[in-house]
Amino acid sequence: MHADIVVLPGDGIGPEIVAATLPVLEAVASRFGHRFSFAEHDIGGIAIDRHGEPLPAETLEAARKADAVLLGAVGGPKWSDPSAKVRPEQGLLAIRKALGLFANLRPVRPHPAALGASPIKSELLQGVDIMVVRELTGGIYFGDKTRTDTEATDLCRYSVVEIERVVRSAAALARGRRGHLTSVDKANVLETSRLWRDVATRVMREEFPDVTLEHQLVDSMAMHLLSRPRAYDVIVTENMFGDILTDEASMLAGSLGLLASASLGAGRVGIYEPIHGSAPDIAGKGIANPYATILSAAMLLRHSLRLEAEAAAVEAAVSSALDAKVFTADLAAAGQGVDTRSAAQAVVERLA
């Protein structure tokens, strides 16, 4: 098959990890007889510098026409003033919304060879396999905001339709896995969470009676996620709770550098990116971990291009590299670790 992939390197380590991932996709194309075309565009801070806005119109137009979008990271200290009217993160929020992407999938599956890098006891991590589904278009991030000299407000808003569609997506995933869905809210305090719980309960009762539904309050979920992570299969939650919980869940895997994500909507196009940030402290040093971006590319193959065997081959190649202890600095002992390109090359070699 032929696929057009828009590449958005972004800021910080973004260009390095994306550049390391493209040869992996090219190796997949070579091995399986596909042709992938890559078109690079700006987003985030680099787009502000070059175009005066975090999401140039040409970037969005290219993304709309593409089969999939591979993204590095956005943001950095150069653009970190929270009071600035134009910020890199606005580009990411805007492109997700413009493409109608409402479900952010973040798998957490600790690799046995990397358990030592996690601060969590290894016996708690064996067999952990979680899929977190975070809602992307609603909640406090997108609500009306006000600011005066003496106070500020952020409106948290959710509609029935927004909750229904993300719960359906998560339930469908749970149905194909272990049949257990945990819905996370704060229904003892927030009206939006009470609506969330009511809608989730109805959707599951009417459409997914074969999937077990469990409700958890977000504060207790934060505790259980670390104390008994094997108890969870698919977790679905609203925008801000999902943002926080998935960063917490990264500790189960040992490093943010191992966690991929896919932002999906009703169509085939999606945005695929590592969940970590732009890591400006190590940008330009060539030591960033590319595995999360490579695993995001595997999700791209699976969800947008419908190439399951190819996606599984990439995941197996990453797993084999980790088995061989091809570790970057975030996973290795202090002062050790291979560089970004060497880690990616280990994956390419295993795909050959």
What DSSP string runs through 18-76? HHHHHHHHHHHHHHHT-EEEEEE---THHHHHHHSSSS-HHHHHHHHHSSEEEEEE---
126 class by beta-carbon count within 10 Å (0-12 exposed, 13-18 middle, 19+ buried): exposed
Extended beta strands in 148-269, E state: 152-154, 180-185, 212-217, 234-237, 260-264
pLDDT for residue 252 is more than 70: yes
The pLDDT, as a whole number, for residue 334 is 64
- With cut-offs at 50, 70 and 90, classify the pLDDT of residue 80: confident
Element spanning 9, H or E: strand 2-10
d(CA 180, CA 212): 5
Q: State what percent of residues in the chain have pLDDT above 90.
A: 85
Q: Which residues have a catalytic role annotated?
A: 141, 186, 219, 243, 247
Q: State what percent of residues in the chain have pLDDT above 70.
A: 99
pTM score of the predicted model: 0.92
pLDDT for residue 254 is more than 90: no
179 class by beta-carbon count within 10 Å (0-12 exposed, 13-18 middle, 19+ buried): middle
pLDDT for residue 333 is more than 80: no
**Kind of pairing, strands 2-10 and 271-274?**
unpaired
Q: How open is the CA angle 21-25-31, to the nearest 5 degrees?
A: 140
| Cβ neighbours around 16 below 10 Å, total | 26
Query: Domains along the chain?
Result: 1-101+269-352 (3.40.718.10), 119-253 (3.40.718.10)
Structure tokens at 336: 């050790």
The angle, 0 to 180 degrees and rounded to 10, between the axes of the packed helices 308-323 and 14-32 is 120
d(CA 115, CA 110): 7
Contact assessment for residue 145 and residue 155, using Cβ atoms and an 8 Å cutoff: yes
Structure tokens at 195: 């609506």
The pLDDT, as a whole number, for residue 114 is 82
| Cβ neighbours around 171 below 10 Å, total | 23
pLDDT 10s digits, 155-179: 999 999 999 999 999 999 999 999 9
What average pLDDT score do residues 182-189 get? Answer: 98
d(CA 99, CA 255): 29
